[in-house]
C-alpha cells in the first residue's frame, strides 16, 4: 500500500475529529482508499497550546508556507473556518497542485465560482461535503443519488447549535442563554455564535444546497434571514397549544422557475418528523418529482460526525472515482431563476400580542385582519395574567405584506400594548 501525505489546516474541534478517525479507522480507510494516509503537517495558531491529544511537535506548524512549499503533501484539509485566510490558503494550495477538502460553508457559499475555476485550471479536486449539515451526506445525495429528479423543495434543520438551543428550551424549559452555553461547551457552535444564532450559518448551507439542487447559482444575499434570538419560552408554549413546535428551518422551493428561499424560526406541526429532530441533530427533507419525499437525519455538528464527512472526502479523492461534477452546477448562471421577494411569500402566520384584556379588543383585531384578507384559524389567551394578557393567534395563508399592513393598524389600537412576535408556519403542502 502506497503512502499519501496530507496536511490539516486548523486543529480545533473538527480537526481533532479527523485526526481521531484517521487513527481509529486506519485499517478500514486503508482498505477502502488503497492508501496509508499520513498527516505530515497540521497548521495551528499556537504550537505550545495544551491539547487533549498528543501530537508530535514536528507535525505542528504555525507557518502555512511549510505546507504550501512541501511538494510531498498531496491533499490539504481546510478546517480553520472564517473567510480570508481559509480562502487564501486554499487558493495557494491549489496553485501548488494540492487537492482540497473543506468544511467551510462561508467560503463555498460566497466564492465557489472563483475556487472551482482554479481547481479546474490546476486539475485538482475540491470536496466540501462537511460544509452542509455535518455528518449528513447531503452533497453526494443531491449530486449523485438524486440526479434523476427535478428537485422541488428542500426543507431542513441545518444548524446544530440553534436546534440544540430550541430543543433544550422546548423539552427542558431552560433559557436561551443557558442552552447556548451548553452548545458552545459541546463544540457545536461557530467561533462567533452569532453566525449560528442569527441564521447566517443556515443561510450559507441553504445557498449551497439550493445552487446544487436547482442548477442555478444562488446568491446567499438573496436569502431571507431571521434568527432565533427573539424566540421566548412563551412562544414555545403558545405554539405547543396550537399543536406546533418551533424550529429554525432553511427552506428552498422552486415553482414555475421562481425560487422561494428563506431561513427563519418556523412553527412546524408537532406530528411532523422535522418537529421531532432534537439536540444537535439535523434533518433535510427533499422533494423530488420522481422520488417523492425523502428525509436525511443525522448529527449536524461535532468532531466525529463532521470528521466523518471530511475523511469520506479524503477517501473519495484517493479513489478518484467521483468526478467533481458538482463544480459546474454550483457555478451555472445559465439557468437564471428569479428569487421571490419574501413579502410576496404566502404562509400561515403565528402572531403574539400583548393586550389589555378589555371587551371588544379581540373583535377590533379580527376586523382589521379581515379587511386585509387575513383570517384567523385559532386564538389562545392566557387568562392567568390579569391586566396585560398575551394573545396569540394563527392565521390562514396570507402574504407577509398583508400581515404587515394589518399589524401596523393593530398596533395603534388603544388596548394593544405591543406586538411581541410574528412567526411563519410551514404546512408542508
Ligand atoms: N455551528 C454549526 C452548527 C457547525 O451548529 O450546525 C456545523 O456546521
| pLDDT tens per residue, range 71-86 | 999 999 999 999 999 9
* Cell numbers that stand for 151 in this block: 428537485
CA atoms within 13 A on the CB side of 47: 10
The stretch 146-155 carries a mean pLDDT of 95
Q: Hey, which bits of 92-225 come out as E strands? A: 99-102, 126-127, 151-157, 224-225
Helix axes 361-371, 400-410, angle to 10 degrees: 140
CA of 126 to the centre of ligand 1 (A): 21
Lowest mean pLDDT of 101-115, 323-337, 357-371, name the range. 323-337
47-62: pLDDT as tens digits: 988 888 889 889 999 9
CA atoms within 13 A on the CB side of 2: 8
CA of 249 to the centre of ligand 1 (A): 14
Give percent of the chain above pLDDT 70.
95
Contact 190 CB / ligand 1 (< 6 Å): yes
Query: Taking the CB of residue 392, how many other CB atoms lie within 10 A of it?
Result: 23
Whether 417 shows a pLDDT value over 70: the answer reads: yes
Contact 165 CB / ligand 1 (< 6 Å): no
**Contact residues for 31 (Cβ-Cβ < 8 A; gap 6+):** none
CA of 385 to the centre of ligand 1 (A): 39
Catalytic residue among 205, 217, 247, 299: 205
pLDDT score, position 333: 57
pLDDT score, position 139: 94
Whether 325 shows a pLDDT value over 70: the answer reads: no
- 196, 206, 299: residue to mutate for ligand 1 pocket, most atoms within 8 A of CB: 196
pLDDT score, position 323: 54
- Concerning whether 371 is annotated as a catalytic residue, the answer is no
pLDDT band at 351 (very low <50, low <70, confident <90, very high): very high
Question: Mapping DSSP to helix (H, G, I), strand (E, B) and coil, where does residue 141 land?
Answer: helix
Please state the length of the chain.
Answer: 429
Looking at ligand 1, which atom is closest to the CA of residue 183?
Answer: 5
**Contact residues for 185 (Cβ-Cβ < 8 A; gap 6+):** none
Contact 303 CB / ligand 1 (< 6 Å): no
CA of 371 to the centre of ligand 1 (A): 43
105 class by beta-carbon count within 10 Å (0-12 exposed, 13-18 middle, 19+ buried): buried
The stretch 413-423 carries a mean pLDDT of 94
pLDDT score, position 324: 53
The per-residue DSSP string of 88-106 comes to HHHHHHHHTT-EEEE--HH
Name the helix (H) or strand (E) containing 113.
Answer: helix 105-122
Contact 129 CB / ligand 1 (< 6 Å): no
CA of 391 to the centre of ligand 1 (A): 34
The per-residue DSSP string of 322-374 comes to S--THHHHHH--SS--EEPPGGG-EEEEEEEEEEE--TTHHHHHHHHHHHTT-
Quote the mean pLDDT of the chain: 92
What pTM value is reported for the model?
A: 0.94
Looking at ligand 1, which atom is closest to the CA of residue 202?
Answer: 6
Contact 193 CB / ligand 1 (< 6 Å): no
pLDDT band at 328 (very low <50, low <70, confident <90, very high): very low
Contact 302 CB / ligand 1 (< 6 Å): no
Query: Taking the CB of residue 40, how many other CB atoms lie within 10 A of it?
Result: 18
Amino acid at each position: 500500500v502506497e503512502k499519501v501525505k496530507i496536511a490539516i489546516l486548523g486543529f480545533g474541534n473538527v480537526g481533532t475529529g479527523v485526526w481521531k478517525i484517521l487513527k481509529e479507522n486506519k485499517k478500514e480507510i486503508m482498505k477502502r482508499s488503497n492508501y496509508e494516509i499520513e498527516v505530515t503537517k497540521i497548521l495551528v495558531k499556537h504550537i505550545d497550546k495544551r491539547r487533549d491529544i498528543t501530537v508530535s511537535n514536528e507535525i505542528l506548524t504555525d507557518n502555512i508556507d511549510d505546507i504550501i512549499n512541501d511538494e510531498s503533501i498531496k491533499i490539504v484539509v481546510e478546517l480553520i473556518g472564517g473567510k480570508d485566510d481559509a480562502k487564501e490558503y486554499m487558493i495557494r494550495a491549489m496553485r501548488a497542485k494540492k487537492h482540497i477538502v473543506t468544511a467551510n460553508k462561508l467560503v463555498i457559499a460566497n466564492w465557489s465560482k472563483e475556487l472551482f475555476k482554479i481547481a479546474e485550471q490546476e486539475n485538482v479536486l475540491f470536496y466540501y461535503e462537511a460544509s452542509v449539515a455535518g455528518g449528513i451526506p447531503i452533497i453526494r445525495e443531491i449530486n449523485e443519488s438524486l440526479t434523476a429528479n427535478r428537485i422541488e423543495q428542500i426543507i431542513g434543520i441545518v444548524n446544530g447549535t440553534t436546534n440544540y438551543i430550541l430543543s433544550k428550551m422546548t423539552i427542558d424549559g431552560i433559557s436561551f442563554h443557558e442552552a447556548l452555553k451548553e452548545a458552545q461547551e459541546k463544540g457545536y457552535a461557530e467561533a462567533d455564535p452569532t453566525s449560528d444564532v442569527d441564521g447566517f450559518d443556515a443561510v450559507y448551507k441553504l445557498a449551497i444546497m439550493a445552487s446544487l439542487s436547482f442548477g442555478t447559482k444562488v446568491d446567499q444575499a438573496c436569502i431571507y434571514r431571521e434568527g432565533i434570538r427573539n424566540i421566548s419560552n412563551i412562544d414555545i408554549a403558545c405554539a405547543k397549544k396550537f399543536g406546533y413546535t418551533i424550529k429554525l428551518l432553511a427552506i428552498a422551493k422552486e415553482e414555475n422557475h421562481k425560487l422561494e428561499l428563506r431561513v427563519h424560526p418556523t412553527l412546524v406541526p408537532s406530528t411532523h418528523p422535522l418537529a421531532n429532530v432534537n439536540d444537535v441533530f439535523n434533518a433535510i427533507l427533499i422533494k423530488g418529482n420522481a422520488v417523492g419525499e425523502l428525509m436525511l437525519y443525522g448529527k449536524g455538528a461535532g468532531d466525529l460526525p463532521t470528521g466523518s464527512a471530511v475523511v469520506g472526502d479524503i477517501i473519495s479523492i484517493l479513489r478518484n472515482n467521483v468526478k467533481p461534477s458538482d463544480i459546474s452546477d454550483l457555478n451555472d448562471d445559465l439557468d437564471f431563476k428569479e428569487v421571490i421577494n419574501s413579502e410576496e411569500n404566502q404562509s400561515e402566520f403565528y402572531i403574539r400580542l400583548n393586550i389589555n384584556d378589555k371587551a371588544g379588543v379581540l373583535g377590533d383585531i379580527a376586523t382589521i385582519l379581515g379587511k386585509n384578507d387575513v383570517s384567523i384559524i385559532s386564538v389562545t389567551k392566557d387568562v392567568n395574567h390579569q391586566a396585560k394578557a398575551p394573545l396569540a393567534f394563527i392565521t390562514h395563508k396570507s402574504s407577509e405584506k398583508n400581515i404587515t399592513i394589518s399589524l401596523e393598524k393593530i398596533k395603534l389600537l388603544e388596548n394593544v400594548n405591543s406586538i411581541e412576535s410574528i412567526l411563519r408556519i410551514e404546512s408542508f403542502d
